[in-house]
């Protein structure tokens, strides 16, 4: 299988080299990456210089420089216009692929009914304080509910472009795939490392934007992602109860997590109904942008206990 990979970035100088290295070091089997296209959306730091240097050493890598930020959907469309293969991958710029992630992410496409696959994000945050617990729990529930994010692969003939005002790009692609009666699969062994917020304000920014985007998809297409479904929300609460019973010292952390999640969703709801904030140009959660390698090495279990 031949694929194209697009990386959507804005000021990712702290992580883009780690991400590109992780892609170039992939353990690939029956997969060939023809193009690695980095779409830099209005970057003002050293991101473009770093990517240009990589492109000089590897012909697969190409930089597409958007002079100004027009939103993630616009940047994705730039990549899709360049992509030639039937299966494409879209990646955020603030993750690192583990060595078998791309091979495992693309393997399900041997089944012609599979339209989308997504990675299993594991945060590098140490789970030894409140914000570390929140980061780990948030992504644990993300994976439990089989939500799609951070990096996805899909068939380009299903989605060849996105509306420019779409905020939750992965959810939009998921909705189109599901409406075509095709499978959208969360691939547990396609592991990527990411970094959860290191402060409460950045956590609220992320949840607020995601919830706005999910409400937008529900209105535009009539599709609800898993985190909007009552049954899946119950599943998340059961997991929080399980964690609390297993370790009663985590009860205050679970209560704070629930409060912040609800509060951030409420803000996203207000943005949606009032129209005062559209989130097309996303607020950057800067504390998520540097996957320190010493943290990756130390946090080798990545679990909420």
Segment 146-162 shows an average pLDDT of 93
Number of Cβ within 10 Å of residue 60's Cβ equals: 16
Q: CA–CA separation, 299 vs 36, rounded Å?
A: 29
Confidence of residue 264 (pLDDT cuts 50, 70, 90): very high
Percent of the chain with pLDDT over 90: 84
* pLDDT tens profile 191-220: 999 999 999 999 999 999 999 999 999 999
Q: CA–CA separation, 84 vs 4, rounded Å?
A: 7
Confidence of residue 280 (pLDDT cuts 50, 70, 90): confident
Number of Cβ within 10 Å of residue 229's Cβ equals: 12
Return the DSSP state at 158.
Answer: T
Contact 72, 41 (CB under 8 A): yes
* pLDDT tens profile 7-35: 999 999 999 999 999 999 999 988 999 99
**Hey, what CATH class is 2-285 in?**
alpha beta
Q: CA–CA separation, 196 vs 122, rounded Å?
A: 9
How confident is the model at residue 275, as a pLDDT? 87
How confident is the model at residue 299, as a pLDDT? 45
How confident is the model at residue 305, as a pLDDT? 44
Percent of the chain with pLDDT over 70: 95
Alpha carbon 144 to chain centroid, angstroms:
15
Contact 292, 234 (CB under 8 A): no
How confident is the model at residue 212, as a pLDDT? 95
Segment 272-277 shows an average pLDDT of 90
Strand order in the sheet with 183-194: 61-66, 32-41, 2-9, 87-92, 151-155, 114-123, 183-194, 96-97
CA distances from 112 to 71, 190, 299 (A): 31, 19, 37
* pLDDT tens profile 82-93: 999 999 999 999
pLDDT(302) > 70: no
Segment 254-283 shows an average pLDDT of 91
Q: CA–CA separation, 208 vs 263, rounded Å?
A: 9
pLDDT(76) > 60: yes
How confident is the model at residue 277, as a pLDDT? 84
How confident is the model at residue 298, as a pLDDT? 43
Whole-model pTM: value is 0.90
How confident is the model at residue 303, as a pLDDT? 46
Confidence of residue 278 (pLDDT cuts 50, 70, 90): confident
State the alpha helices, DSSP H only, in 29-181.
47-57, 72-82, 101-106, 130-144, 169-179
Contact 31, 1 (CB under 8 A): yes
Segment 219-241 shows an average pLDDT of 93
User: What is the β-pairing status of strands 183-194 and 96-97?
Assistant: antiparallel
Q: CA–CA separation, 189 vs 100, rounded Å?
A: 8
Structure tokens belonging to residue 186? 């969360």
pLDDT(141) > 60: yes
Structure tokens belonging to residue 74? 């616009």
């Amino acid at each position: 299988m031949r694929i194209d990979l697009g990386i959507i970035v804005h000021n990712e100088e702290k992580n883009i080299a780690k991400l590109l290295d992780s892609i170039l070091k992939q353990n690939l089997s029956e997969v060939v990456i023809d193009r690695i296209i980095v779409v830099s959306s209005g970057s003002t730091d050293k991101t473009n210089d770093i990517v240009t240097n990589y492109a000089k050493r590897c012909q697969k890598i190409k930089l597409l420089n958007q002079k100004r930020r027009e939103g993630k959907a616009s940047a994705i469309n730039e990549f899709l216009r360049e992509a030639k293969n039937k299966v494409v991958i879209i990646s955020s710029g603030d993750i690192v692929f583990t060595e078998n992630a791309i091979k495992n992410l693309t393997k399900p496409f041997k089944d012609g009914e599979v339209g989308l696959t997504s990675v299993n994000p594991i945060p590098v945050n140490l789970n030894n304080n409140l914000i570390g617990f929140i980061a780990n729990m948030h992504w644990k529930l993300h994976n439990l509910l089989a939500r799609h994010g951070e990096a996805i692969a899909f068939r380009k003939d299903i989605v060849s472009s996105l509306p420019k005002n779409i905020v939750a790009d992965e959810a939009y692609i998921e909705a189109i795939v599901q409406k075509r009666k095709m499978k959208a699969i969360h691939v547990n062994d396609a592991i990527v490392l990411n970094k959860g917020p290191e402060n409460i304000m950045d956590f609220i920014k992320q949840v607020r934007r995601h919830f706005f985007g999910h409400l937008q998809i529900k209105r535009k297409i009539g599709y609800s992602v898993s985190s909007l479904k009552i049954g899946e929300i119950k599943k998340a609460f059961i997991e929080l109860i399980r964690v609390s019973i297993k370790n009663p010292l985590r009860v205050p952390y679970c209560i704070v997590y629930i409060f912040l999640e609800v509060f951030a969703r409420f803000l996203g709801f207000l943005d949606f109904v009032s129209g005062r904030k559209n989130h097309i140009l996303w607020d950057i959660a800067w504390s998520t942008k540097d996957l320190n390698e010493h943290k990756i090495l130390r946090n080798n279990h990545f679990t909420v206990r």
